[in-house]
Structure 1
């Protein structure tokens, strides 16, 4: 059998790549055991210390992972503490809302909780049917188009509004962010709550709505009792 020399590649013609080296090491896990002296003397480039050993590189990577995990745990603890405070605030607010005996008291309580307890900018309420009371939190403009555009498919809208929408709801433009909460009772539309923040990033579509969902059900029920 004659071998065609043209089908053979010399060592000089073989180009090593990262992929080839990785594949070789994966197929030969005993390589480093066979080359123990090489592993001991192997030096790797490091941006801070010039060169380090393989063991030092592994220790550095482990320290980096541990540091990242510690930061994640700290962030989770902060979030958990914030959620605990928010839950306590909502629980207190529910009791205060249940104690309201008139529509004006109810709207006062909602406004105070929003602007003072939650440190947000403003709260407004638009009702499908005209209210029998007068209150600064009530929207007198027709916002039927807003509820159709922003809340026809979702119970909440988080983010920015167009300037015309801001003016209809708040009477002025707002550079911050808002949440719109659709209010329904017994499958009937009552209207929506609009809460604004000066912080453009405060109300984000990724926000959790668990507490907000409980809040809107209670508010819708109480508004239905007091206003209609």
Structure 2
């Protein structure tokens, strides 16, 4: 009769990796053995040897500090957005009270100055050279930079600035390192653009929200179309 040989399981070698994996697989381990929390010591560069509980408390304090900083930043951003909302709402109200293009352009230009910006309003075929833009220049800019988007944010090379914004000699020294927000007046077939220029090269960046600017440009574009209809009646 054949003798059956039993195979005894080999003991698992306890290594740091095994212990780490065990604790990961049993996250409630220290709940079952809470007395170990005070006995396990951790060598930290900041405070030397401390208990695991102290390490956890310290990490929790750091996390709370990070959350408080995030909340402060969010509150600051919310307050800034609230101010911007009321500012732009007031500008839109002023625009709706305007009777013609020149009044509306003045409102936008003055608001830009109050924000330390320069507003450039360009309309295809406008009679005043300050506000005129060639259709080809607008089409080329739209294809290269807008391409169906509601705004372009960032820097512009000198040649691009000249074709889009130049009037009476654009001050290159003041805009060479600056940044721009350029929004079309109309999406499918723009009748022009409104550009806001900043001396700060990082003021307008591609990831910025343009909601308030888009609303302002939409109101201005609507008024332009209404004044245009009235002039042809």
Kept in 2, the 8 Å contact 1:104–1:135? The answer is: no
Separation (CA, whole Å) in 1 of partners of 2:215 and 2:46:
53
**Aligned match of 1:177:** 179
Separation (CA, whole Å) in 2 of partners of 1:35 and 1:95:
67
Separation (CA, whole Å) in 1 of partners of 2:97 and 2:32:
79
**Aligned match of 1:119:** 116
Kept in 2, the 8 Å contact 1:147–1:192? The answer is: no
C-alpha distance 32-88 of structure 1, shift in aligned 2 (>3 A)? closer
Separation (CA, whole Å) in 2 of partners of 1:160 and 1:53:
54
TM-score (norm. length: structure 2): 0.80
**Structure 2: tracts of 5 or more residues without a match:** none
**Aligned match of 1:21:** 19
Kept in 1, the 8 Å contact 2:183–2:214? The answer is: no
Kept in 2, the 8 Å contact 1:157–1:179? The answer is: yes
Q: Structure 1 stretches (4+) deviating beyond 3 angstroms?
A: 1-4, 8-11, 26-39, 139-142, 225-228
Deviates further, 169-178 or 40-49: 169-178
Q: Secondary structure at the match of 1:184?
A: coil
1:4-46 deviation line (CA, Å, top 9, x unaligned): 9xxx9787xx47243x222212445675467655432221111
C-alpha distance 99-49 of structure 1, shift in aligned 2 (>3 A)? same
C-alpha distance 15-83 of structure 1, shift in aligned 2 (>3 A)? same
**Aligned match of 1:205:** 206
C-alpha distance 200-100 of structure 1, shift in aligned 2 (>3 A)? same
Kept in 2, the 8 Å contact 1:158–1:179? The answer is: yes
**Structure 1: tracts of 5 or more residues without a match:** none
1:55-87 deviation line (CA, Å, top 9, x unaligned): 111111111111111111111110111011101
TM-score (norm. length: structure 1): 0.81
C-alpha distance 34-87 of structure 1, shift in aligned 2 (>3 A)? closer
**Aligned match of 1:89:** 87
Q: Secondary structure at the match of 1:189?
A: coil
The aligned length equals 217
